[in-house]
Structure 1
Amino acid sequence: MSKTSRPHLIRAAEIKALPEQQHLHQFNRRAVRMTRGLGTAAGLERIGIHLIRLPPGHDSTQFHSHSADEEFIYILEGRAIAEIGDLECEVGPGDFIGLPVPSPAHNLRNSFAEDCHYLVGGERNPLDVVDYPRIRRSMLKRPRRWVNWDDLNEID
């Protein structure tokens, strides 16, 4: 499908028919989420929006922060534990998390018996630095790819 032929409207039945893609985080084996990409399907290029299903016992990602990309999370169904900086609290349907830049480190953890469904969205800036404070790592997002700073050669 060409960029110009993407629909601007995706009906509920079409969203349900979108395949779920499993995302595994490279720094957290417990971070397993099932994703349906809505933004790209609707032709958005500067904003990423995804419908997420977080199974019980899993994290959404590795606890991290962004230097350039703002994000949001809106809980649709189920519950999770939100970690936002030093805050840890239960979130449920209708709860909204806004993460302006520079964002506090954050993560969702599903410690409950049912799936947690949420909408997540954020900017797609060409450059972003993502810090993972608990594991003392950083990643640089460049256009269409990620660079692991720990694998770069030293610069004189």
Structure 2
Amino acid sequence: MAPSDPPFPLIKSNKIESSMVSKRHRLNNDAERIGVCMSDMVGIKGLGVHKVRIPPEGESTEIHYHLNDSEWLYVLSGSGVLLLLDSETSFDTSEDPKNNRIIGRVTGASGQPSSRQITQHEVAEGDFMGFQGGLLASKYAHSLRAGPEGLVYLMGGTRERVDVCCYPRLGIRDVFEKHS
């Protein structure tokens, strides 16, 4: 069997807009994103790039962080608030310089909801946010809340084969394995 042609590498803006669909977050009923994964449309596998719109005063997701995947966001229009939760005390970490890695051990109230305070940081057109995956990612568990005019942004990141997404306010950790 001959391999099929790869997807066409250009997506016109009207196709992007018409492909955007609404999704509610399964752990936060107040979180609705209207978006599309543009990288899927052109056949890119190891990297995700999405266009996302959050309705006025809406939320993007449950506050979370990733242990493997890194992600970034770039605000195209509108304004809102970046919600950050420092839940880093869930891990004891130590350096293993010989193997160039950090070793983490979940301690204390593992799997329990976080009682730490959420900080709020205004975001607007042209602002960039980046969240590195890994054991220390819990320092910046995050979500967005749109302002009165809504929020439109590009979001992207790595797509590791296995990822763990942690929701510190809920004490939940989900493990995802992507199939090729």
Uncovered stretches (5+) of structure 1, i.e. residues with no partner: 145-156
Number of residue pairs matched? 141
Alignment-derived partner of residue 54 in structure 1 = 54
The structure richer in strand per residue is 2
1:3 to partner: Cα distance:
6.4
Matched, 1:106 2:142: yes
Alignment-derived partner of residue 16 in structure 1 = 17
Aligned AA for 1:4? Answer: D
When normalised by structure 2's length, the TM-score is: 0.73
Partners of 1:50 and 1:5 in 2: how far apart? 20
The structure richer in helix per residue is 2
Per-residue deviation, residues 89-129 of structure 1 (Å, max 9, x unmatched):
1100000001112222110011x221200000011111011
Alignment-derived partner of residue 37 in structure 1 = 37
Partners of 2:6 and 2:178 in 1: how far apart? 23
1:27 to partner: Cα distance:
0.7
The residue correspondences of 1:97-136 to structure 2 (distance < 5 A) are 97-102=129-134, 103=137, 104-110=140-146, 112-136=147-171
Aligned AA for 1:93? Answer: E
Alignment-derived partner of residue 77 in structure 2 = 77
RMSD (Å), alpha carbons: 1.6
Per-residue deviation, residues 23-45 of structure 1 (Å, max 9, x unmatched):
11111010101012211011111
Identity of matched residues, %: 31
